[in-house]
Structure 1
Amino acid sequence: MNTLQAIILAIIEGITEFLPVSSTGHMIIASSFFGIAHDDFTKLFTIVIQLGAILSVVVLYFKRFFQSFDFYFKLLVAFIPAVVFGLLFSKKIDALLESPVTVAVSLLVGGIILLKVDDWFSPSQTVPTTELKENITYIQAFKIGLFQCLAMVPGVSRSGASIVGGMSQGLSRTSAAEFSFFLAVPTMLGATAKKCYDYYKDGFVLSHDQINYLIIGNVVAFVVALLAIKTFIGFLTKNGFKMFGYYRIITGIVLLVIHFFIHPLTII
């Protein structure tokens, strides 16, 4: 990895982390094109720079994080399914992370689903976040957490799965998106901590350049994610999911065409 590649991957993370398009899938494809996807540090990098992205949520919603302790427990309940599934299927998940074709198919299928989401649900009102905190139940939070687990398949999109999960529980598009943002904080912190521990346990030592790449990546991801969240909320409220659905379908088809007819997308 070089500095330019680190910046590009961080920009991709910042833009896609909170959009229903799969940040992990996009970074797998980008790093595959760069020819660095097989590198252990690249795999660590794509996880750790999520810290920069989640910091943007804390900054944007700072006051809301300290309004209700009850809401923290609901986030914990929503987070539990990811912990359980992550521990049970970690090896299978790691294997899927090495398959660009899985990403392409997931993007395509997920895109088709997003085209239908606005027809399945009709949340015309935007529920204020304070009201969301008071009204969402523990059962609803747990069910949203189950939806989030679908994103363990690369290309599915954590934010997309949890937003659809929130809408299935009666939340508006905007409220479901905001709950997805909040849920991203413990989820990404947990994933980053586990990945760092695994690398530490295996004796992985970072070089001076690699530490610099992680710092640059987190800063870039933070700044870009700030802009992405503000833009996404406004766009989603006004336009719904269809544009993201079309984007995913087109991207998935292009990747499959490249893989099967031009040059195989492989992670060696």
Structure 2
Amino acid sequence: MDIVLALKALIMGLVEGFTEFLPISSTGHLILAGSLLEFTGEKVKVFEIAIQAGAMLAVIWEYRARIANVVSGLGSDPKAQRFALNVVVGFLPAAILGLLFNKVITAVLFKPVPVATAFIVGGLIILWVERRARNNPVAVRIQSVDDMTLMDALKVGCAQAFALIPGTSRSGATIIGGMMLGLSRKAATEFSFFLAIPTLLGATFYSLFKQRELLSAADLPMFGVGTLSAFVSAFLCVRWLLRYISSHDFTIFAWYRIVFGIVVIATAHFGLVNWAE
């Protein structure tokens, strides 16, 4: 692996890690970053999905004690059983719809301008939800992920399915969707973290298996660099986000999405940046 390829893999991993758990769309940022770096193609699409495993491992490490308690209590602890079942139920809608519509979504929507449009629409939705939360704070009925029912988990899982549209943001869909359904900001954020484990793991293994003919042993260093950088940056981001939500809302991310989306569309329209598709 030459130094230029290593740097591109490193940058893409950092982009993945720093954006995966923020409501700003990691997939959208990877598509745009790949376009700017001229790092595109079918193998790169597999790479972008595979390095999500690094971000997923960061969540496992951050919540390792909680996850260990759940695993050890699956045989006898009703609380652990309900938590695990909630995560599985929340994972299913995106998994099923992803398997059914992955080809269509990849062919039509994995392009810079549709991604930028999703950025803007998602930002407007976040602004609306945050305004709603300020005006009606009593709407919160679930303070902890342990208080969620199976129906709550299924509804948040359906919200996560909207993230199949590139630029929507998996974490944004689950966090904002959860808040709309009555979860506290902290509960919605933490459940989004836990949903990331099966979602990102499943996407990684499915993509690697499906596109295995494109890959070879020579690709391992590139994938390793991207996964490692995604792990480190995601770990830092998760730690920061947990502190941030204790005293802030997501309005700043909404405006970031809107401004960033407008910039991408404007530069593409006037030919200032050649966003590769």
TM-score scaled to structure 1, two decimals? 0.92
Q: Distance in 1 between matches of 2:92 and 2:141?
A: 27
The structural deviation recorded for 1:63 is 1.5
The structural deviation recorded for 1:169 is 2.2
Residues 126 and 173, structure 1, Cα contact 8 Å, conserved in 2: no
1:89-130 Cα shifts (integer Å, max 9, x gaps): 1111211453111111011111111122212225588977xx
Residue segments in structure 1 that go unaligned for 5+ positions in a row: none
The structural deviation recorded for 1:2 is 0.2
Q: Distance in 2 between matches of 1:153 and 1:98?
A: 8
- 1:89 equivalent in structure 2: 101
- 2:186 equivalent in structure 1: 174
Q: Distance in 2 between matches of 1:162 and 1:241?
A: 13
Pick from 47, 52, 55: which aligns with 1:53? 55
The structural deviation recorded for 1:57 is 0.5
- 2:74 equivalent in structure 1: none
Residues 17 and 231, structure 2, Cα contact 8 Å, conserved in 1: yes
The structural deviation recorded for 1:206 is 1.7
Q: Distance in 1 between matches of 2:255 and 2:106?
A: 28
1:180-219 Cα shifts (integer Å, max 9, x gaps): 000000001111111111112xx223242x2101111111
When the two chains are superposed, the root-mean-square deviation of aligned CA atoms in Å is 1.8
- 1:235 equivalent in structure 2: 244
Greater CA drift, 16-25 or 103-112: 103-112
- Secondary structure at the counterpart of residue 239 of structure 1: coil
4+ aligned runs moved over 3 Å, structure 1? 122-128
- 1:149 equivalent in structure 2: 161
Taking structure 1 as reference, are residues 147 and 126 closer, same or farther at Cα in structure 2, changes over 3 Å only? Answer: closer
1:205 aligns with 2:207: no
Amino acid at match of 1:132: V
Q: Distance in 1 between matches of 2:181 and 2:42?
A: 39
Identical positions, percent: 40
The structural deviation recorded for 1:6 is 0.4
Q: Distance in 1 between matches of 2:244 and 2:87?
A: 25
- 1:257 equivalent in structure 2: 266
> 1:1-80 residue pairs with structure 2 within 5 A?
2-37=5-40, 39-65=41-67, 66-67=69-70, 68-80=80-92
Residues 17 and 23, structure 1, Cα contact 8 Å, conserved in 2: yes
Amino acid at match of 2:20: E
Residues 51 and 223, structure 2, Cα contact 8 Å, conserved in 1: yes
Residues 51 and 189, structure 1, Cα contact 8 Å, conserved in 2: yes
1:193 aligns with 2:229: no
- Secondary structure at the counterpart of residue 254 of structure 2: helix
1:40-88 Cα shifts (integer Å, max 9, x gaps): 2211111111111010101111121123132111111111101211111
Q: Distance in 1 between matches of 2:266 and 2:244?
A: 30
1:228-263 Cα shifts (integer Å, max 9, x gaps): 011112222312011001111110011001100124
1:13-59 Cα shifts (integer Å, max 9, x gaps): 0100000000000000010111222x222111111111110101011
Aligned length: 260
Q: Distance in 1 between matches of 2:202 and 2:243?
A: 29
Amino acid at match of 1:40: E
1:132 aligns with 2:134: no
Amino acid at match of 1:53: A
